[in-house]
């Protein structure tokens, strides 16, 4: 569903040029759960932002469903991002003065033709999937880290994405909560068929996924 061909990403500031990714070739198939490992600074976050169509490579081609991203119009691209891709971040990125259910509804606000009733219904269904039906009216500050990450996962799920891109989703959690989140992602992959690409530093977690891709210094090493 997602293919990167000969991807290079160079960050250029006034004085420094950083090659963040170099000759990356990578395919993610529908239904896979892939983990990405590697030391800090090796390009993992850059890779996820390219996969999420949030940024463009310096050279190389990204294909979604067999079609180069450059051949999509801006409107189509916005649609791809909004409809197909869900993001989960290490630090949750929730809005503290919105309730849990309002946070989960946020990405649905951009859906054309979706009314408030349907938004609410979808958000509640997503919260049910992550086991947070009893917390929909709470605010993020009233939840544990693990629960906040569940809200973030519900937000990613609410739009019915085909792929979830997760950047160290358990990085801020203790091992018990981290394992809970990992089990939730594994269940979403197995039971709902959501494709997942996850950056992690945790080898135990990575070994539970179907494929581990290791990066070093901007290149894939295995």
Q: Report the interface residues with ligand ADP, using CB under 6 A.
A: 11, 13, 18, 20, 38, 40-46, 89-91, 167-168
Strands 195-199 and 211-216: unpaired
Q: Based on CB atoms, which residue is closest to ligand ADP, 91 or 175?
A: 91
Write down the least CB distance from residue 89 to ligand ADP, Å: 4
Q: Based on CB atoms, which residue is closest to ligand ADP, 30 or 93?
A: 93
Q: Based on CB atoms, which residue is closest to ligand ADP, 45 or 58?
A: 45
Name which of 176, 159, 218, 185 is nearest 6 in CA terms: 218
21 class by beta-carbon count within 10 Å (0-12 exposed, 13-18 middle, 19+ buried): buried
d(CA 151, CA 104): 7
CA dihedral 171, 205, 132, 161 (to 10 degrees): 90
Write down the least CB distance from residue 15 to ligand ADP, Å: 11
Write down the least CB distance from residue 146 to ligand ADP, Å: 15
Write down the least CB distance from residue 88 to ligand ADP, Å: 8
What single string gives the DSSP state of each residue in 120-131? Answer: HHHHHHHHHHTT
Q: Based on CB atoms, which residue is closest to ligand ADP, 200 or 209?
A: 200
Write down the least CB distance from residue 91 to ligand ADP, Å: 3
Residues pairing with 2 in the sheet? 28, 64
Q: Based on CB atoms, which residue is closest to ligand ADP, 54 or 68?
A: 54
Strands 59-64 and 211-216: unpaired
């Amino acid at each position: 569903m997602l293919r990167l061909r000969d991807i290079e990403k160079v960050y250029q500031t006034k004085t420094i040029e950083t090659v963040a990714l170099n000759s990356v070739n990578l395919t993610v198939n529908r239904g896979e759960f892939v983990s990405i490992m590697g030391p800090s600074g090796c390009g993992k976050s850059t890779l996820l932002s390219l996969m999420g169509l949030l940024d463009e490579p310096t050279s190389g081609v990204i294909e979604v469903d067999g079609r180069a991203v450059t051949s999509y119009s801006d409107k189509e691209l916005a649609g791809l991002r909004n409809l197909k891709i869900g993001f989960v971040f290490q630090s949750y990125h929730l809005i503290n003065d919105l309730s849990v259910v309002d946070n989960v509804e946020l990405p649905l606000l951009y859906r054309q033709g979706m009314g408030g009733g349907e938004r609410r219904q979808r958000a509640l269904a997503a919260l049910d999937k992550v086991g947070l039906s009893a917390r929909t009216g709470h605010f993020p500050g009233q939840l544990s880290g693990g629960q906040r990450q569940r809200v973030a996962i519900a937000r990613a799920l609410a739009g019915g994405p085909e792929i979830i891109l997760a950047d160290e989703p358990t990085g801020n959690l203790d091992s018990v909560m981290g394992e809970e989140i990992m089990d939730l992602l594994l269940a979403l992959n197995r039971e709902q068929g959501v494709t997942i690409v996850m950056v992690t530093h945790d080898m135990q977690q990575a070994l539970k996924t179907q494929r581990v891709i290791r990066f070093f210094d901007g290149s894939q090493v295995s």
